[in-house]
């Protein structure tokens, strides 16, 4: 698809969701929360509704961050393939969509913070218009004292803080407070995830992210992050997470990516580690779960490759359910 047509912005996603809901009611279930800024945060569940769900394998995908649009476009493109048999650009999909729809139930949260995304100055970040410092200032906001990027916190209030520009990473949850979606339970993301884990027993959970891989000499542009609780999990979960991660790494290599070979949890310090355990510990202890990171805002990984590598991770995960 033409890059200017990437369905990264909320109005583009809204339009497609309404089209799918109207044209494919047998195969898509649409649910949403409404943010404080009135944007819809979707959970889109794709399956053949004529086949009972109780025996289907189940997967959830989420895109937590407004400054990481390739996960949104990758999710939307995959849903479109399942529903129509074609990519968003009109090309024919080679997915075994009928088998996937009959035997799996897949939930996508394609953009957890559309209120942040609608403030993004671009459809995608490719390193040609903004340096990483400028990009991070869009992501976190601008501190009024240092004129540099604002701090990264789970929650903050404009009663106490006054950034010159509010970072697009933050979701406004009421008149005064903002949260980072994957680090606070009051975010739309975590509220939807909790609701749907109560509804379905998911067999896999994949969080779709992007990062810049700043300063790496190996020119890596993809990696898997294991759960923060990985070493504390059951042997079965540890093994499943690692095997799943290495399968994606292998598929990335075949697709031309340069993934980091050493798959492990990130070494989060405090308070970050506690935020993640508070928000995600319950999920990590019961369900195989990993995170993918694709390079963002770098000329070495243009948007077409960002989308390709997201597609590889999504596809490998879904095909794993079919084995």
> Above 80 in pLDDT, residue 265?
yes
Q: Model-level pTM?
A: 0.97
- Does residue 2 surpass a pLDDT of 80? no
Q: Is the pLDDT of residue 245 over 90?
A: yes
**Range with the lowest mean pLDDT among 35-44, 233-242, 255-264, 270-279?**
270-279
Residue ranges of E strands in 35-164: 40-46, 57-62, 104-109, 141-142, 155-157
Q: Which domains does the chain have, with CATH numbers?
A: 3-118+185-322 (3.40.630.10), 132-181 (no CATH)
* pLDDT score for 267: 84
Structure tokens at 39: 């944007």
What is the pLDDT, as a whole number, of residue 16? Answer: 97
Please report where in the chains the tokens 């671009």 appear, as a residue: 122
pLDDT for the residue 191: 98
Summary mean pLDDT of the chain: 96
For strand 177-179 and strand 222-225, is the pairing parallel, antiparallel, or unpaired? unpaired
The model's pLDDT over 5-31, given as tens digits with 9 standing for 90+, comes to 789 999 999 999 999 999 999 999 999
| Secondary structure (H, E, C), 160-215 | CCCCCEECCCCEECCCCEEECHHHCCCCHHHHHHHHHHHHCCCCEEEEEEEECCCC
Q: What value does the mean pLDDT take over residues 154-162?
A: 95
Q: In a 3-state reduction of DSSP, which class is residue 129? A: coil
pLDDT for 4: 66
Q: Which residues contact 323 (CB under 8 A, 6 or more apart)?
A: none
């Amino acid at each position: 698809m033409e890059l200017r047509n990437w369905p990264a912005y909320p109005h583009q996603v809204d339009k497609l969701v309404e089209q799918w809901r109207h044209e494919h009611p047998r195969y898509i279930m649409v649910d949403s929360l409404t943010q404080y800024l009135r944007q819809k945060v979707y959970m889109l569940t794709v399956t053949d509704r004529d086949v009972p769900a109780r025996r289907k394998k189940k997967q959830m995908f989420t895109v937590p961050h407004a400054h990481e649009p390739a996960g949104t476009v990758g999710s939307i493109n995959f849903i479109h393939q399942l529903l129509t048999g074609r990519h968003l650009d009109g090309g024919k999909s080679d997915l075994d969509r009928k088998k996937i729809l009959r035997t799996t139930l897949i939930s996508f949260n394609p953009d957890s913070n559309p209120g942040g995304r609608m403030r993004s100055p671009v459809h995608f970040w490719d390193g040609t218009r903004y340096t990483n410092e400028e990009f991070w200032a869009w992501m976190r906001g601008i501190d009024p004292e240092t004129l540099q990027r604002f701090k990264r916190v789970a929650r903050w209030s404009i009663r106490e803080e006054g950034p010159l520009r509010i970072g697009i990473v933050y979701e406004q949850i009421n008149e005064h407070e903002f949260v980072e979606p994957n680090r606070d339970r009051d975010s739309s993301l975590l509220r939807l995830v909790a609701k749907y884990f109560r509804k379905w027993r998911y067999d896999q959970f994949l969080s779709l992210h992007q990062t810049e891989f700043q300063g790496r000499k190996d020119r890596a542009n993809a990696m898997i992050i294991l759960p923060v609780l990985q070493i504390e999990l059951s042997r079965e979960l540890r093994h499943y997470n690692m095997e799943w991660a290495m399968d994606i790494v292998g598929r990335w290599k075949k697709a031309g990516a340069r993934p980091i070979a050493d798959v492990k949890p990130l070494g989060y310090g405090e308070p970050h580690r506690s935020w993640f355990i508070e928000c995600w510990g319950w999920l990590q202890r019961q369900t195989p779960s990993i995170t993918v990171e694709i390079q963002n805002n770098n000329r070495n990984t243009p948007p077409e490759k960002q989308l390709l590598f997201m597609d590889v991770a999504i596809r490998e995960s879904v095909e794993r359910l079919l084995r």
